[in-house]
Structure 1
Amino acid sequence: MKQAVTRKGSVGAIRIIAGQWRGRKLPVLEKEGLRPTTDRTKETLFNWLAPYIDNRVCLDAFAGSGSLGFEALSRRAAKVTFVEQDRQVANQLQKNLATLGLSADQARVIQDNLLSFLHGAKETYGLVFLDPPFGKGLLQKSIDVLEQQGLLSEGALIYLECEVSLPLSVPANWQLLKQKQTKQVSYSLYLKETL
């Protein structure tokens, strides 16, 4: 749920749209730069993902509120790794995992810089959510490291959310499946094909 930031560190909420926790609200810290994906965008994305999400191993990079990862878990993703650099935000994600009764086999929170985490990651992912803070050049770097480190499984789906004006270079074997944009935000879903 998109909410205006009030006091730094105050609490807002996100809503899970569908699945086993449909309608459930989870608290999130409202911090500068944290932009939970709007319900409308999230609904569009998960309509796109509906045929594919079951049993996927997911990475919610730049997790923030965890909105996308929690929605994936609600819709029967096998596992989600949430990576969040901010300690307070990561702690809130951990509390929300506990609230939902999720085990470490189903979900885990990594409090780290995403690029550092990716350089040491051993797991491959079938669904990746990349929605970094705007204006910091992190999206292209993340795409490059995911490919270089071989962290995407065959047939992986990659969701990108970025500012409309951002030029991106995606690997040749990433097929664009869906794309939409608002005045300020572009969001796209790619499929990693076998070369």
Structure 2
Amino acid sequence: METKPLFSTIVAGKYKGKKLMLPSLESTRSTKAILKGSLFDTLQYDIVDEVFVEVFGGSGSMGLEALSRGAKHAYFIEKDKAAFGILKRNCEAIDTMHTTALHGDSFIVFPSLISTFTCKAYFYFDPPFSIRDGMENVYENVLKLIAAIPQEKAHFIAIEHMSELELPQNIGLFTRQKTKKFGKSSLSYYM
């Protein structure tokens, strides 16, 4: 039996209504529309002409939404080969000039990527939930990754995580501003 491809839609901005393919649910977990809306309601116009980095790229829906809403460039890192193929197709369908999709392990690629930045960026972390096989230490590793971000390179950091997980008040030099719950997923904001 052939499975139908899954899609999400860009919600607002110059690419509003454009469809994005989603990877299979075995390789990634797509972000809920309500959660995406909340993030971009928080960011509003702050992301205009800014760099947005989706550290665990998946389909690229968050970075492509940021681009649609005025970000000047979106970077994505994705380890899963099938998901990366879909991410590349989504970037090509939306905007090849202002997107960079990197295939590899976020824990290895991310530090070298931000070392090339000469400006501040907005960072979005949506790691695989720790209930997945092989992901038991994912949040611990994400916190180490965030703590190593130079403060002069970050406007804002958002982390999508399991609601039952209480993230620390401080990660390195960054302080949690708020956490919003959306059922099993939550968003925590750091500056």
So what's the TM-score if we normalise by structure 2? 0.85
Between stretches 130-139 and 174-183, larger displacement belongs to 174-183
The equivalent residue for 1:87 is 81
Between stretches 166-175 and 27-36, larger displacement belongs to 166-175
Distance 1:19 1:156, change over 3 A: same
Partners of 1:144 and 1:88 in 2: CA distance = 27
| Within-5 A mapping of 1:124-143 | 124=117, 125-135=120-130, 136=135, 137-143=137-143
Q: Secondary structure at the match of 2:71?
A: coil
The amino acid that maps onto 1:123 is T
Deviation at 1:17, TM superposition (A): 0.5
User: Between Structure 1 and Structure 2, how many residues are aligned?
Assistant: 181
Distance 1:119 1:45, change over 3 A: closer
- C-alpha contact 1:42 1:68 (8 A) present in aligned 2: yes
| Within-5 A mapping of 1:143-182 | 143-148=143-148, 150=150, 153-154=152-153, 156-169=155-168, 170-171=170-171, 173-182=173-182
- C-alpha contact 1:33 1:133 (8 A) present in aligned 2: no
How many percent of aligned residue pairs carry the same amino acid?
Answer: 25
Distance 1:154 1:109, change over 3 A: closer
The equivalent residue for 1:100 is 94
Partners of 1:107 and 1:183 in 2: CA distance = 31
- C-alpha contact 2:147 2:173 (8 A) present in aligned 1: no
Unpaired runs of at least 5, structure 2 = none
Distance 1:128 1:155, change over 3 A: closer
Deviation at 1:188, TM superposition (A): 1.5
- C-alpha contact 1:175 1:190 (8 A) present in aligned 2: yes
The equivalent residue for 1:26 is 20
Q: In proportion to residue count, which structure has more helix?
A: 2
The equivalent residue for 2:107 is 115
Q: Which aligned segments of 4 or more residues in structure 1 are displaced greater than 6 angstroms?
A: none
**RMSD of aligned Cα (Å):** 2.1
Deviation at 1:154, TM superposition (A): 4.8
Deviation at 1:140, TM superposition (A): 3.1
